[in-house]
């Protein structure tokens, strides 16, 4: 066993003892409200609860960004992931770790939900329902897309521009009979 593994093992045992002590303490009401104040923290806690295993910071940031932007993870752009990643890393995860809600290993980028997090679960149900309904009604579904296209078509007609065929893009403009 290398010196590093022994050190890691010793730290892990010490951290475990601290975590066990923390899990038995109740969260003060003011702390509870403060922890749940940020929607990004609530989203992170919901994702960690759903996974119920250690999660990488990248994975967590990607899923939180998807919920925030009402997109699938495949539709996210780098900037959306990066914004969430940075704020989780610099602020939100540290705050949750300080209160014994999660274990955050910054060196490895791993987040683990701790037992004390279960005290927040009743307050996360409303947020979880909101996120579920957001993911079920993606803006790319046919109904909302066709409504948006109809509105844009009417606006183009009002401005004297050629309307776009339904389901098309700018290259599918219908020739306009109007004089400009």
Of the pLDDT bands very low, low, confident and very high (cuts 50, 70, 90), residue 149 is: low
Of the pLDDT bands very low, low, confident and very high (cuts 50, 70, 90), residue 28 is: confident
pLDDT value for 123:
84
Asked whether residue 18 carries a pLDDT value surpassing 70, the answer given is no
Cβ-Cβ contacts under 8 Å for 79 (sequence gap 6 or more): none
pLDDT tens per residue, range 57-77: 999 999 999 999 999 999 999
- Strand-strand pairing, 102-105 and 110-113: antiparallel
pLDDT value for 179:
43
pTM: 0.60
Of the pLDDT bands very low, low, confident and very high (cuts 50, 70, 90), residue 52 is: confident
Q: How many angstroms separate the CA atoms of 140 and 75, rounded?
A: 11
Residue ranges of domains in the chain, CATH in brackets: 3-136 (1.10.10), 142-172 (no CATH)
Sheet holding 110-113, edge to edge: 55-56, 110-113, 102-105
Q: How many residues does the chain have?
A: 180
| Closest among 156, 142, 147 to 164, alpha carbons compared | 156
Of the pLDDT bands very low, low, confident and very high (cuts 50, 70, 90), residue 132 is: low
Asked whether residue 8 carries a pLDDT value surpassing 50, the answer given is no
At 58, list the tokens: 């990248």
For residue 38, give the DSSP letter.
S
pLDDT value for 68:
92
CA-only gyration radius of the chain, Å: 23
Proportion of the chain above pLDDT 90, given as a percent:
42
Token pair 């329902």 is found at: 129
Q: How many angstroms separate the CA atoms of 47 and 93, rounded?
A: 13
pLDDT value for 86:
96
Asked whether residue 92 carries a pLDDT value surpassing 50, the answer given is yes
């Amino acid at each position: 066993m290398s010196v590093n593994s022994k050190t890691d093992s010793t730290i892990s045992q010490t951290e475990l003892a601290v975590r066990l002590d923390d899990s038995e303490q109740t969260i003060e009401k003011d702390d509870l409200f403060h922890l749940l104040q940020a929607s990004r923290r609530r989203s992170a806690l919901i994702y960690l609860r759903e996974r119920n295993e250690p999660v990488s910071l990248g994975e967590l940031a990607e899923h939180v960004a998807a919920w925030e932007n009402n997109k699938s993870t495949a539709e996210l752009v780098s900037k959306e992931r990066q914004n969430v990643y940075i704020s989780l890393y610099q602020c939100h995860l540290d705050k949750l770790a300080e209160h014994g809600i999660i274990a955050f290993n910054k060196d490895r980028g791993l987040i683990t939900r701790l037992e004390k997090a279960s005290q927040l679960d009743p307050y996360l149900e409303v947020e979880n329902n909101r996120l579920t309904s957001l993911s079920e009604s993606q803006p790319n579904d046919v109904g909302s897309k066709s409504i948006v296209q109809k509105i844009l078509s009417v606006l183009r007609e009002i401005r004297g521009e050629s309307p776009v065929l339904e389901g098309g893009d700018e290259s599918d403009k219908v020739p306009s009979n109007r004089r400009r």
